[in-house]
Structure 1
Amino acid sequence: MGLEFRLLGPFEVRDDDRPVPINGVKPRQLLASLLLHPDRPVSVDRLIEVLWPIDPPRSAAANIQTYISGLRTCLGDDHVVRYPPGYAVVIGPADLDVASFLRETDEAIRLRRLGYLADAQRTLESALARWRGSPLADLPPSPLWQVELDQLTERRLAALSELLDLRIRLGDPDRAVAELRGLTAEHPLREGLWALLIRALVAAGRRADALTVYAEVRHTLAEELGVGPGPELQRLHNDLLAADATPIASHPVGQQLPADAAIVLRGLAAFGDATVPAWFAGALLEDGEEQMDRLVSARLAVDAGVDALGQRRYRVPVLVRMLADAQSGDWPQPDEAGLVRVLGGLLSLAEDAGHALPHSPFGPGQSVAPRWKPPMTEVDDPVAWFVTEQDILLTAIEVAGRLNRPDFAWELALATVPWCDLAGHPEVWETGHQTALAICRRLDDQLGVAVTLRGLGQLHLYRDEYAQADAAFGRARLLFAQLGQPAGVAAALSGLGAVHRVRGELDLAVDYYSRALEAFVECAEPSGEAYARGAIGQVWLARGNLDRAQEWLESALNLAEVIGDRHRTAHLRQALGSVARREGREQDARGLLDQALAGFTTIGDIHGEAYALVELGRLEQTPAEAADRLTRALHIYQRLGDRRAEADTAERLGQLHGAAGQRELAAAYLDEARRLRAQL
C-alpha cells in the first residue's frame, strides 16, 4: 500500500497500513499544515502562526527547524523539503486521502454525465468512505486552516448530495430519507438538503411527511435568516399542493357539504396554507372534531401528521380554499364567535408560553381581548411552542384584522415578544408588530398603536437605528399619557432612556429613567422598578461614578431577587461584576460574572451570555483565554445582528492578536470593526 497521509478525520500517517509515529502535537500540526498545501511552499511565518497563535516564543523559527528535522527522520528527506520562504511536503507516489477523495468525486460526476448512474454511485461511495470524521479532528484548530477545511466540507456535502440524489433516482428513497434526516439536522440552513429530503419522501410515497418537512424548513429559514424558502423548495411545495388537490368542484361532497362541516372548513381556510392544530376545529364549532373527520374523509382537508409538540395538525388544500371562496354565497360563513375563540385560544396559549420565559416589564399593564382556554392543551415547552406556532400567530393577526378586532391583533403581536427577544427572532417581531400597527391605525385603536410603536421602537434600538427608535418611543409615550396608562408611559420612558444612554447623552438618559421609575412605582410594577433602578446604575457606571453605580445596582438586584426575576438578576450581576472589575476586585468580579453567565445560559438568553463573556474576557490571565471568550461573544453578536457590540468585540480581538504579534489576524479583526462602525 505504501505511504499514506490521512487528513479526513483524526490525523494519521501510515506505511504499508502500519502507523508511522509522529510524536508531539506541534510536529503533527506542522505536517498537517504542509499537507493542506501539498507540493507547495508554506512560509515559516505562517507555520509559526499555526503552532503559536498567541505569544510565539523567540525560539519559534528554531523550533520549526527542529520539528522539520524530526519529520524528515520519520518520512524521509524526499518528502519534506526546504522550499523558500518555508517548507513543503512532496507527495510523490504516496497517497493523500484528500487528493484521492477529490479525484474520485470528479470521476463520479463524469460518469453521471455519461449516464452511468450505478457506476457513479459506487464511485461516490468509495470517495466518501475515505472520511473518518471531521478533518484533523484530533489537532488543535487553527484559523489559518479554515479556508481549506471549509472547502473540503463543502466538497463532502456536495458529494453526499450527489450520492443521495442518485439513490433516489435508482429506487432507494428510504435509505436516502434516513441519511437526509441527519444531514438536515446537522446543516439546517442548506436548502438543497431539505429539497432532497422532500423528494425522497415523495418517492417513498410519504407526501404528508414531505409537507411537514416543508413547514419545518420554512420555520427554520424564517427563524435563523428571516427569509422564506427558495425557488426549488417552493416548486416542490406547489407540486405537493397540486397533487393533494382533487377536482372537488364536481365532487358530490363539495356540492352537498353539510352546513356544520362547511363552517369548520371555511374557518380553517381563513388561515391559508398553514397547518393548524386540531383544537381549532373544536373552537370553531362544538362538534368540530367530528366534522374534521368528515372533511378529511372527503379529502377536503388533509391530515398533516403530528407536530413537534405531539399535536395532530390539518390544512386545507389550495384548490379547496379556492372552491370555498367561489361558493361563498352558497356555503355558510364561519361563526365570528368561533374565530374569536380560535384567536382567544392562541392568545391564551401564547401567554402561558410567555410566562415561562423571562418577564418583560414593557407592556401596557392591561389585557383587552377575551381569552379562551383550549381543552386538554398545555404548553410544556414554551420555546418549542413558539417555534411550532410562529406562522399561525402571524396569520392570526391578519385574521384579527379581517374581523375588525384590533385588540386581538396587538395583543397577539405583544405576546410573541418574550420569545422573540430571548431567542433572537426579529423578523417575527417586526412582521407581527407592523401588521398589528396597520390594523390598529385603520380601526383607530390608539392603545394598540401605542403598544406596537413601543415594540417597534425596541427593535429599532436593537438595530442601532436611534432616530427611528426615538420617534417610536416618543409617539408611544404621548399616546399612553393621553390614554392615562402609567405602565405604558413607563415602558416608553424606559425606551427613551436607553436611546440616550447608548448615544452617550447621559443627563437625558438618567432623567428619562428616573421618570420611568416613578411611573413603575405608581402602577406597582416591581419588575419594571428593578429594570429602571438597574438602568440608572448603568448610567452612573458609564459616568465612571462606581459608588453611585454600586448603590443603584445593588438596590435593583435586591428587588429582582425578592420577586424572583432571574433574568433581571443575571443582568444586574453582570453590571455589578463590571463595577467590581473596574475597582480592581477581580475575585468578586469573576464570581458575579460567572453567576451572570450561568443565569443567562440557564434561561437561554444568548445576548446576555455574550455580554457576560466579554466582561469575563477582560479578566482572563492569558491572551489566549481572553480571545476564546471574545470569539464566542463575537459569534453571538454576528448571529443576532448587534453591530455595535460586534464592532467593539472585533476591535478588542484585533488589539489582542496585534499585541501577540499575529499581524494578519489583527488586521482582519480591526478592518471588520471599522467596516461595522461605518455602517453605524
Structure 2
Amino acid sequence: MFDGAIWRAIGAAKCRAVLASLVAQAPDPVHTDQLIDEVWAGAPPKTAPTQIHGYVSRLRRLLGDAILTRSALGYRLVAEPGDVDALAFESWIGSANAALRRGDTDLGTRLLGDALALWRGAPFADAAVTDRVRVRVERLTELRLSALESRFDAEIGLGRHAAVIGELRALVAEHPLREQFWRQLMVALYHGGRQAEALDEYRRLRSVLVEELGTEPGSGVRGVHQQILDGTLRPGGVRQLPAVIPDFTGRRAVAGAVVDRLISADGDAPAVVVVHGGPGTGKSTLALRAAHQVAHAFPDAHLHLDLAGTSGQPRPPAELLAEILRCLGVAGQNLPDGVAARSALLRSHLADLRTLLVLDDASGSAQVLPLLPSNGRSAVVVTSRHLLTDLPGARHVELGTLTAAEGYELLARIVGEDRVGAEPEAARAILRYCGNLPLSIRIAGGRLLGRRSWTLEVLAERLADESQRLAELKLGDLDVRASVDLSLRSLPEDVVRGFGLLGLLGPHEFPGWVLAALLDRPRADDVLDVLVDANLVQLVSTDRAGQPRYRLHDLLRVYAAERAGESAAALERLLGAWLDLLARAQRRRPPSMFEPVIGEPPGWRLPDAVAQRLVRDPLAWLDAERKLLSGLVRLAAGRRPDLCRALTAALVPYHDDRAFYDDWLANHDLALRLNHGDLGRAELLRGLAHVQIYRGELTEAAGNMTRSLVLFRAAGHVLGEGLAASGMATIDRHRGRYDSSLRYVNQSLDIFVRTGNRAMEAQLRCAAGRLLVARGRLDDARLWFAQALEIATADGDVHREAVVLRELGELRHRAGESHQALRDLDRALGVFTELQDDRCVAYTLLTRGQVHADLRDRDRAVPALLRAAEMFRRNGNVSSEQDCRQLLGVLDG
C-alpha cells in the first residue's frame, strides 16, 4: 500500500483480504457480513465480527479515519478515482474511449497509454482470491487487454505500424489464444512491408489453435489472411466489434431473423436491421451476437459506433462520420467539413467494401441515415429504444422480455445451475419480480453471485416489496431505474408526466383513451404514440370492442408509479370518466333493478363522439374492460372511498347480466370495509344481498337486505326503500314464505306506482304473478302477467317482455297448455340470447327442459338441460345446476 510517501506492507493475510474487498468495492460500502464471507469463505469462526473490527482498526491507523469510514451498512473506503489505481485506470479508459468515439485518435491513444502505464503486475497479487476480488481481477484484466487492443488499433490506424510490432509479439506469446493480438500483428507487419512475416504469424496461430483447441482461426483473422494473400488489405484492418456476452440466453428465433437479414445483403442497397425495444431488453447484446455470427461475410471492415441516443446529448452525425472516416484512414486535412460532404466521402470509401456496421443506441433515423453505405454488399444493424419506421428499407425486429424458460436459463447461467435448482420456486419468484427483463435478471443474478450466503428466497422477499424493488435492482453500473431515466430524458414534459400517471393503473392492459383523462385533454393519442415509439408502453392487442390495448412492463409500471407525483386530480378525472361511460353503457341495455340509486355529481367526461363509439356494443366493451375495472375499484378503495362505492354500484348491472358473482362479491366486500354515509352503505348492502341470493346464502342475504331497507327508510330515500322491499320479496320467495313475499311485493309496488317507475312496476307485477303460480292460483296469476306484459310492451322493454313470457310459459305448462308454453319459452330464449343475458338464458332452458321432460320428449329435454347445467356451473349457480342434474338423472332412469 502506497500512502503518498512510501510503500507500507500489510502483514496479516486476512487483513490484506479485508483491504482487498474494500478496494474492490470502492467507493461503495461493504457490509460486515460480506467481509466475513469473503475472508473466511463461508465458514467463519464465532469471533469473526470481532476480528473484522480489529483488521479495520489496523487499516484505519495506516490509512486514517477519513479514508476508511464506518457506514450503516458496514465499512467504506472513501476514495477518489486518483486514489486507487484500479479506479483511475477505469476512469482513464472511459475518457480514452470517449475521445476515440469523437474521432480524436491522438488524445485517445495517449490516454490509453497513460491508463496502461498504471499496471505494475497482476492486480491484487498478494491478496486472498475471494469471490469479490476474483470478479474485480477478471474485470480489470479483461479491461486491460481490451484497452491494449484499442490502443493498437488506434496506433495502426495512425500508420504507426513499426512501433507496435514488438509489443504485439510479446502479447501473442503471453496470450497465444487471443486472436485479436495475432490479427493486429499480421496487419502491422503487412503494412510495414513484411508480408511474408505476416503470413508466417498466421501459420503459427493456426498451429497453436489446432494443437491446443482443435479449432481453426476465427473469421476475423481468416479474413485478414485472405486479404494479405489477395493484396487487398487496407490500412487499419478495422475490427471494432466488442466481445459478446458469454451467457447469452434464448432469443434464438429473433437472433436467427437478424442474421438471415444481414447476410442477405446483395443488391443495390445494404441490408439494414433495426433492433428496437424498451430499456433493459438486451438490444445491444442481441445485435452484437448477430454481428459476430455474420462477421465472416464482411471481411473488409467491422465498425461499431455508440450513437449515445439515450444520453443527454446524442452524438451528431458529423462527429460520427469523422470517427468512421478516421478509422478508414481519412484524417487531418483530408477530412471535409459538413455532414453531406463527409457522408459522400464515406459512401465513396465503402463503395467496393463488404462492411458490417453496428450502430448502437440510435436516437432517430436522422442520426443513422448519413452513416449508411451505398452498396448492397454491406450490412447495418441498428439498436434503438425508438421505432425508426422512417428508415428506408429497414427490417424492424422488436425485442421484448424473455420467456419464463429463457429467464430461468439466464439466471442459472449467472448464479449456477445447482444453486437455482435447489430453490426453483424462489428462482421463479425472482424472475416474476424482474418481469423476465434481461437487465433486471442480470442485476439480480449479480447480487446473488456477490452474496454467497444469501438464499434465493432472501432476494425474492426483498424484491416482493414494490416500493423497494427498483432500489434492489441496482448493481454497480447496472441500474434499472437509471436505464429508464435515459429513455425519459429526451421526451417532452407532458409525455413524461403521462407515463408516470399510467403507473396508477396497476398491472392491467388499458385502452388508450385513459391517458386523455389522466392528462385532462380531449385526446392524448400523440402522447401515447410517443410512448409506444419509445418502447415505454407496449401495444399488446385489439379487444372485442375494437380498442387497441396497451400495457406497461411490470418494472416500468413500478418506476412510473414512483414518478406519478400529485395524482389526486388525475385519479378523480379517470374514475369520473369511467362512471360516465358505465352510465352510457347501461342506457344502451334493458332497464335493470340493479342500477345505482344514488345520483353522482358530474365528473370528467370524454368527448361525446368518443364516448358513444366506445360503448356502441356495451357488453363487448364491458367484457374488454372487466379486469381493469376490478383493478380500478381496488385503486379507488385506497384513495377515494366515495368513488369506490360508486364504481362498485355502477358495475352491478353488468355483473348481473354476465353472472360474474365472484367480481360482484369481491367488490362489495372491499367497498363495505370503507367508511360511507347511510345511503352509500344502504346501496352496497342491497347489492351484496342480491349476489348472496344468487349464491344461495339466504340467511346472510336477509340480514343485509333488512339493514339496507332500514337505512333507506330512515333516510327517506323512497326509491331505495322500494328496491330493498323488492329484494326482501325475492328472499322470502326463495325461502318458500309466499305470503310474506307477496306483502313485500305490494309494499314495493305501491312505491313504484306512486313514483311512476313503470319498469319496476312491470317487474313487480311479474313477481306477483310468479308467487301466485307457486300458490296454485293460476287464473289470478294470468291477470298479473298480462298487466306486466302490457307495460313492458308499451315501454319497449324487450328484456322484461321476455321475463314475463318465461314465467307465463311456466303457468301455461301447469295449466295443460304445454305447446303454447314452449312457444312462449322459445320467444323468451331468442330475446335473452340476442341480449347476451346468460343467466336468463340458463333459467329459460331449465324451464324448457322441464316441459319437454314432462311431455316425455327426452331428445329435446336432455340438450336443453345439459346446456343450462353448463351455464349455471360456469356462473357459479350451484343450486340451479343441481336442479338440472337431478332432472337429467330422472330422465336417464
TM-score range, shorter chain: 0.5 to 0.7
SS of alignment partner, residue 599 of structure 2: coil
Q: Work out whether residues 358 and 418 of structure 1, in 8 Å CA contact, stay in contact via their aligned partners in 2.
A: no
Residues 1:243 and 1:447: Cα distance change in structure 2 (over 3 Å):
farther
Match of 2:891 in 1: 656
Change (3 A) 1:478 1:231: farther
Structure 1 position 597, deviation (Å)? 1.7
1:318 equivalent in alignment to 2:554: yes
Residue identity opposite 2:590 in structure 1: P
Number of the residue aligned with 1:143 = none
Residues 479-533 of structure 1, C-alpha deviation per residue, up to 9 Å, x if partnerless? 1112221111111111111111011011111111111111222332211111111
Counterpart of 2:826? 594
**What's 1:645 paired with?**
880
Tell me which residue corresponds to 1:360: 592
Q: How does 1:455-494 map to 2 (within 5 A)?
A: 455-494=687-726
Go from structure 1 to structure 2 and tell me whether the alpha carbon gap of 1:315 and 1:639 turns closer, same or farther (over 3 Å shift). Answer: closer
Establish whether residue 418 from structure 1 lines up as the match of residue 653 from structure 2.
yes
Q: Could you tell me how far 1:348 is from its partner in structure 2?
A: 1.6
More helix by share: 1
Going from structure 1 to structure 2, the CA distance change for 1:611 and 1:274 (only over 3 Å counts) comes to: closer
Contact 1:486–1:522 (CA<8 Å) still a contact in 2?
Answer: no
Q: How does 1:26-175 map to 2 (within 5 A)?
A: none
Q: Could you tell me which amino acid in structure 1 is paired with residue 752 of structure 2?
A: F
Counterpart contact for 1:614–1:649, Cα < 8 Å = yes
Instruction: Extract unaligned runs of 5+ from structure 2.
Output: 1-249, 258-285, 287-395, 404-424, 441-478
Q: Does 1:429 align with 2:664?
A: yes
Q: Which residue of 1 aligns with 2:147?
A: none
Tell me what 2:628 maps to.
392
Quick check: 2:502–2:560 contact (8 Å CA) kept in 1?
no
Deviations 1:97-150 (A, max 9, x none): xxxxxxxxxxxxxxxxxxxxxxxxxxxxxxxxxxxxxxxxxxxxxxxxxxxxxx
Provide the secondary structure at the position in 1 that maps to 2:549.
strand
SS at match of 1:314: strand
Does the aligned pair in 2 maintain the 1:490–1:519 contact within 8 Å? yes
Q: Between the two proteins, what is the percent identity of the paired residues?
A: 31
1:619 and 1:518 map into 2 onto residues whose CA distance is 34
CA–CA distance in structure 2, aligned partners of residues 305 and 648 of structure 1 = 40
Q: Indicate the residue corresponding to 1:242 in structure 2.
A: 437
Q: Flag the 1:244–1:346 CA change in 2: closer, same or farther, 3 A.
A: farther
* Alpha-carbon distance change, 579 to 324 in structure 1, aligned in 2, over 3 angstroms: closer
What's 1:337 paired with? Answer: 569
TM-score, structure 2 as length reference: 0.45
Which residue, out of 744, 761, 765, partners 1:533?
Answer: 765
Residue 295 of structure 1, CA deviation: 4.2
Give the Cα–Cα distance (whole angstroms) in 1 for the partners of residues 401 and 437 of structure 2: 16
Aligned to 1:508: 740
The alpha-carbon deviation at position 259 of structure 1 amounts to: 5.1
Residue 709 of structure 2 aligns to a residue whose secondary structure is: helix
Counterpart of 1:459 in structure 2: which amino acid? V
Query: Which amino acid is the alignment partner of residue 513 of structure 2?
Result: W
Shift of 1:281: 1.8
**Residue 313 of structure 1 aligns to a residue in which SS?**
strand
1:364 and 1:487 in contact (8 A); partners too: no
- Do 1:249 and 1:323's aligned partners in 2 also have CA atoms closer than 8 Å? no
Cα distance in structure 1, aligned partners of 2:605 and 2:399: 33
Q: For the Cα contact (< 8 Å) 2:633–2:667, is it kept in 1? A: yes
Contact preservation (8 Å) 2:520, 2:570: no
2:725, 2:745 within 8 Å by CA — same for their partners in 1? Answer: yes
State the alpha-carbon separation in 1 of the partners of residues 505 and 815 from structure 2.
57
Trace 1:13-28 onto structure 2 (pairs within 5 A).
none
Give the distance between the partners of 1:630 and 1:325, measured in 2 at CA: 50
Query: What is residue 522 of structure 1 aligned with on the other side?
Result: 754
Residues of 2 paired with 1:469 and 1:490: CA distance? 17
Q: Once the two structures are superposed, what CA deviation does each residue of 1:294-314 show, in whole Å capped at 9, x if it has no partner?
A: 544555444445444333333
Alignment deviations for residues 177-231 of structure 1 (CA, whole Å, 9 cap, x no partner): xxxxxxxxxxxxxxxxxxxxxxxxx9x97666999xxxxxxxxxxxxxxxxxx99
In the superposition, the TM-score normalised over structure 1's length comes to: 0.58
Question: Match for residue 604 of structure 2?
Answer: 372
Q: Per-residue deviation at 1:570?
A: 0.9
Q: Distance in 1 between matches of 2:594 and 2:836?
A: 20
Shift of 1:289: 4.4
Given the alignment, which residue of 515, 518, 526 partners 1:281? 515
Deviation of the 1:315 alpha carbon: 3.2
Distance 1:235 1:357 in 2: 45
Gaps of 5+ in 1: 1-167, 176-201, 212-229, 659-680
SS at match of 1:368: coil
Give the C-alpha shift of residue 403 in structure 1: 3.4
Question: Contact 1:533/1:553 (CA < 8 Å) preserved in 2?
Answer: yes
TM-fit CA distance, 1:170: 9.0
| Aligned pairs (5 A) from 1:207-286 | 240=435, 242-243=437-438, 247-249=480-482, 251-252=485-486, 260-286=494-520
Alpha carbons of structure 1 residues 298 and 170: separation in structure 2 relative to 1, 3 Å: closer
Distance 1:630 1:362 in 2: 28
Q: Distance in 1 between matches of 2:862 and 2:401?
A: 45
RMSD of aligned Cα (Å): 3.5
Letter in 2 for 1:333: E
Higher relative contact order (CA 8 A, sep 6+): 1
Q: 1:573 aligns with which of 788, 793, 805?
A: 805
Following superposition, the deviation at residue 538 of structure 1 comes to 0.8
Q: CA deviation at 1:536?
A: 1.0
Once the two structures are overlaid, the 10-residue window that deviates more, 337-346 or 485-494, is 337-346
Q: State the alpha-carbon separation in 2 of the partners of residues 437 and 383 from structure 1.
A: 26
Distance across 1 between alignment mates of 2:256 and 2:815: 63
